[in-house]
Amino acid sequence: MGFARTCSVALVGVEGVVVEVQADLEPGVAAFTLVGLPDKSLTESRDRVRAAVVNAGAAWPQKKLTVGLSPASVPKSGSGFDLAVAAAVLGAAERVDPRAIADLVLIGELGLDGRVRPVRGILPAVLAAADAGYRQVVVPEQTAGEAALVPGVSVLGVRSLRQLIAVLTDEPVPEEEPTEAGRPDAMLAGLLVPGAGLGTGLAAGPGDPAEGPDLADVAGQHRARRALEVAAAGSHHLLLSGPPGAGKTMLAERLPGILPPLTRQESLEVTAVHSVAGILPPGEPLVRRAPYCAPHHSATMQSLVGGGNGLPRPGAVSLAHRGILFLDEAPEFSGKALDALRQPLESGHVVIARAAGVVRLPARFLLALAANPCPCGRHTLHGAGCECPAALVRRYQARLSGPLLDRVDLRVEVEPVTRADLLGQGGRGESSAAVAARVHEARARAAARLADTPWRVNSEIPGHELRTRYLAAPGALADAERDIERGLLTARGLDRVLRVAWTVADLAGHERPDGQDIALALELRTGIARGVPVGAGDRP
């Protein structure tokens, strides 16, 4: 009787669970039994592993073989267990030393010819292995760079099962023929989900902000440009409302260009989600720029917050983690889908309960909404001939519910572009690089102030801390207090005004918000003019 064990990782959402893969050989009729709550794709690994072992030059044991995946209560899916199953079988057959694989974590799919194919979710899987105390992992060669992002872990990238056997038995490692230049690499097919990327409106920000659309291309819109700057500096949610053609989508598409690069920890979080979702570009193991996700207004609630058959998969709110979720034509989204955004907007994560289990997915994003004032879009234009009845206009605007809008910090009316602005007579606006520099300085001031706290941007500070620890200048809250008495502000609204005021103060270089900073924050939230300059270059 032979026995061997090794380890792999099962992904539950974007978190990993280390699974012990055990192989047991007993005398009897040759059979291969796989136990441990596998799904269909994992059950099929029996045939893949058998063919891969034989084609790798090793003998398949002609005995009763049982492979167990422990803990058996955790659902296991995908083809990433193939490599660990093959190693455990070879260890039980004494083709390799069972002690050499006992402390290894192996992740990868096997082809029938013995090649090791890459799978999705390598980064969160290796992170889970490192957290469990494992220090040696074996992954497909194409994903070795992604696995190497985890510190303190020794990574071995292999192209075939033959190479793994040679490494474990101290034999000369055979060379595998590389893919011919100019020929598509079929091995990379397992990393990408068909239709992800452009099909879902998702794209990671470019490595160089100059490669993206420039804010200088926007004609006029000084108020909206200032709102974009405040939103980027403090990660505040934003609503752009106005008639068609005013530039709402154009402004939102330039928001990623003024966001600062992701920190190392944020990059790892984003890369883990994108790796599981299958949208991580091959050859770019680390996402360095904030992602930008813009789903179509026909998106369902499950596609926004996450869902799918079996264990839920990341939705748009998770794909936009540490980046921007832009909902164009927001009133056209279903009310059920929009209201599902309330909880992740507050908590920064989404908890999805299904019959197969409960999954917690990260969802800390900047929400940007764009909306027309009515179905035809001409309601706010004088003399434009809007024929929408008043009741229809009210129903259309009510599609964005009060509780959802209460979580939006900045609400800006985007006015139609004037002829002077459109023809360039008003001068070219500031570039994304100039605005990004101010955003970076404001973020640095906020980070220095919040250095000893778990928060990094102003939008994350709890309301209690804003009212007790981070106080505004004396008398600065007079206007906000009057708005609360008049019913224009809720308790949550006051907290969000204070957060925006701190961001405005950081952009202006103030030590703490004064009356003018509070007034500008109130104007950006309520839309009521307070006599404060908001145009680019008019900062106090």
The pLDDT tens digits of the residues spanning 78-93 come to 899 999 999 999 999 9
In tens, the pLDDT along 308-361 reads 776 778 999 999 999 999 999 999 999 999 999 999 998 999 998 877 678 899
Residue corresponding to tokens 């209690």: 464
Identity of residue 226: R
- Give dist(CA 125, CA 137) in Å, integer: 10
- Give dist(CA 215, CA 221) in Å, integer: 11
**Model confidence at 199, in pLDDT bands (50, 70, 90)?**
very low
Whole-prediction pTM: 0.88
CA–centroid distance for 478 within its chain: 39
Higher model confidence: residue 381 or residue 77?
77
In tens, the pLDDT along 228-275 reads 999 999 999 999 998 888 889 999 999 999 999 999 999 999 999 999
Q: Which of 87-101, 110-124, 193-207, 526-540 has the lowest mean pLDDT?
A: 193-207
* Beta-strand pair 291-293/202-204: antiparallel
Give φ, ψ of 8 to 5 degrees. Answer: -145, -170
- Give dist(CA 531, CA 535) in Å, integer: 12
Mean pLDDT, to the nearest integer, of 263-291?
Answer: 88
Report which of 282, 359, 278, 286 is spatially closest to residue 322, judged by C-alpha positions.
286
- Give dist(CA 309, CA 307) in Å, integer: 7
- Cα 219 to Cα 105, 214, 326, 371, 438: the distances in Å are 55, 11, 21, 19, 20
Q: What share of the chain is helix, strand, coil (3-state, %, to 5)?
A: 40, 15, 45
- Give dist(CA 27, CA 437) in Å, integer: 71
- The pLDDT of residue 529 is 75
Provide the 3-class DSSP secondary structure of residue 467.
helix
Q: Centre a 10 Å sphere on the Cβ of residue 521 and count the other Cβ atoms it contains.
A: 30
Element (H, E) at 273: helix 264-277
CA–centroid distance for 504 within its chain: 27
Helices (H) and strands (E) in the chain, counts: 22, 17
